[in-house]
A and B are shown apart, each in its own frame.
Chain A
Amino acid sequence: MKRMLRFKHAGTAVDKGLLIGIPKGYDYVDLEAMSEAPTVQDAVKSLEKTRFQGIADSMAVYEKYKLVSIIEASLDKIYFDSEVRPALDRLGSSAGVDELVGTEIDLVGIKTLADLRTRGVAADAARGVCPLPFYLKADEVARISEASPDSVPRTLSGTRYADVAQPIQTALNATNDESLDRVVKSEIQRRTRRLMFRLALSFGYVLGYVREVEGEADNLVSIVTGKELGLPESKIQAALCL
């Protein structure tokens, strides 16, 4: 959906070769209809009677800022708020799984806030498309959303994500190539690895294992692509989520 929306936002035809193949029966949305919608607004309208109908709430902010990332963040919000959290509740209380999933929700929220704010989106609009925080308190989220990029370490100090503040601030700096997505993904992987020691023989371990495999696949892509493009070893290392 995100990939299709990007093409529609740019006004170009959807490159079907770039869409992730989903087998019939595993899709919740009529992706064909969405792909054929002429505009972003029409594509969002095609999601009206689906579990992603909440995306329409972000259209006003999208129209104001004309950033397709706003709709993408809204999709993430629906995924975490309407799918992941209810699934967590159904699994019953398990501190390990809560921590695995909760830190991911919070870190994605921090990333979304920081990313949208650097592109000029107002704090309240950015908060509106972020997933509901798990461990972060409302005032902490408000502080993060109102902070400037160079005050991220100060903003995150006192929260459980203080140790990732400096890498986030570095990634927000436009003069270097550091990726905010990579920083957040690396932090999620690091916390997962630490937690897995405590989650043996539980569902949390399975979740952690799946995440590790995903991370490994991403790293493999980075290594192969880096080698093909002739990047030096140091650059390839910097691209990995470790």
Chain B
Amino acid sequence: MSIERVTTTKGMVQKAREQLGFLERGAEVLKMKRDQLAGELNKLLRELGRRKAMEKTFAEALDSVRYAYAVIGYDSFASSAGAVGVMEVRAIPTSTAGVIMPVVKITERPSPDQVATSTVRKATAKLSAAVEEAIELAVLEAEVEQLAWALMSTNRRVNALEKVVIPRYKEMIRYIEEKLNEEALQEFFVTKKMRDITQVARERSQTSATS
């Protein structure tokens, strides 16, 4: 809003003050949100280091699977795997400080004990555990990503409010008040001048009446 185009009225000042109050309260709320998001993000960042361990677990599980394939061949491996059901998961969106984040629940776990061949069973157990860990980590990384975006966006809004919008409003209020004061002063001087002129005119007419 360009200050020069603002109507300089008392009503305008009142309105601007109300809006400023609202913006300042909004900025406080956004700062609280920012702090909460930062806290949540810090908690999760510490756990991101699990990725290396998860990758190692996955690599070991895949080594076991490859060995099991070599021991009994593709056909028998696929047939052994036929005894095991599939893993079923459900993605549930949740909200943390207004940020939609995914939570993945494993509703059906394959049971490695079902596999008849021992080498495939061992590989299945390792791979199941590795996949579960990978799912947990994927959810964690998605949460971190969502929180980071939300934190960045909130921070931008807070900065915009504190450094641009609120100062502009304050400046606008200051300008209008200054203008109003100027007008009031001008009116005062005009009134005083008029009073003086009226006084002089009255005195003159009184003097001419007596003479």
Residue of A2, A6, A72, A120 most packed against chain B (CB within 10 A): A6
Contact B83 A9 (CB under 8 A): yes
Whether A229 contacts B78 in the complex (CB less than 8 A), given A174-B125, A179-B117, comes out as: no
Contact of B114 among A67, A179, A226 (CB under 8 A): A67
- List, in ascending order, chain B residues with CB within 8 A of A10's CB: 82-85, 114
SS class, residues of chain A in contact with chain B: helix
Contact A239 B70 (CB under 8 A): yes
B35-43, B60-68, B135-143, B196-204 - interface stretch: B60-68
Chain B residues at the A interface, C-beta cutoff of 8 Å: 63-64, 66-75, 78-80, 82-86, 113-114, 116-119, 122-123, 125
Contact B71 A182 (CB under 8 A): yes
Contact A177 B73 (CB under 8 A): no
A49 to chain B, nearest CB (A): 26
Return the CB mask of A109-131 against B: 1 if under 8 Å, else 0. Answer: 00000010001100000000000
Residue of A9, A171, A239 most packed against chain B (CB within 10 A): A239
Measured CA separation A119–B118 after assembly (Å): 11
- List, in ascending order, chain B residues with CB within 8 A of A39's CB: none
Chain A residues at the B interface, C-beta cutoff of 8 Å: 2-3, 6-7, 9-12, 15, 18, 67-69, 72, 115, 119-120, 171-172, 174, 176-182, 218, 221-222, 225-226, 229-231, 235-236, 238-239
Measured CA separation A79–B108 after assembly (Å): 35
| Closest Cβ neighbor of A230 among chain B residues | B66
Contact of A179 among B71, B79, B83, B85 (CB under 8 A): B71
A122 to chain B, nearest CB (A): 15
- List, in ascending order, chain A residues with CB within 8 A of B123's CB: 177
- List, in ascending order, chain A residues with CB within 8 A of B72's CB: 179, 181
Whether A235 contacts B67 in the complex (CB less than 8 A), given A67-B114, A181-B72, comes out as: yes
- List, in ascending order, chain A residues with CB within 8 A of B86's CB: 12
- List, in ascending order, chain A residues with CB within 8 A of B113's CB: 67, 119-120
| Closest Cβ neighbor of A5 among chain B residues | B83
Contact B116 A177 (CB under 8 A): no
| Closest Cβ neighbor of B117 among chain A residues | A181
- List, in ascending order, chain B residues with CB within 8 A of A7's CB: 82-83
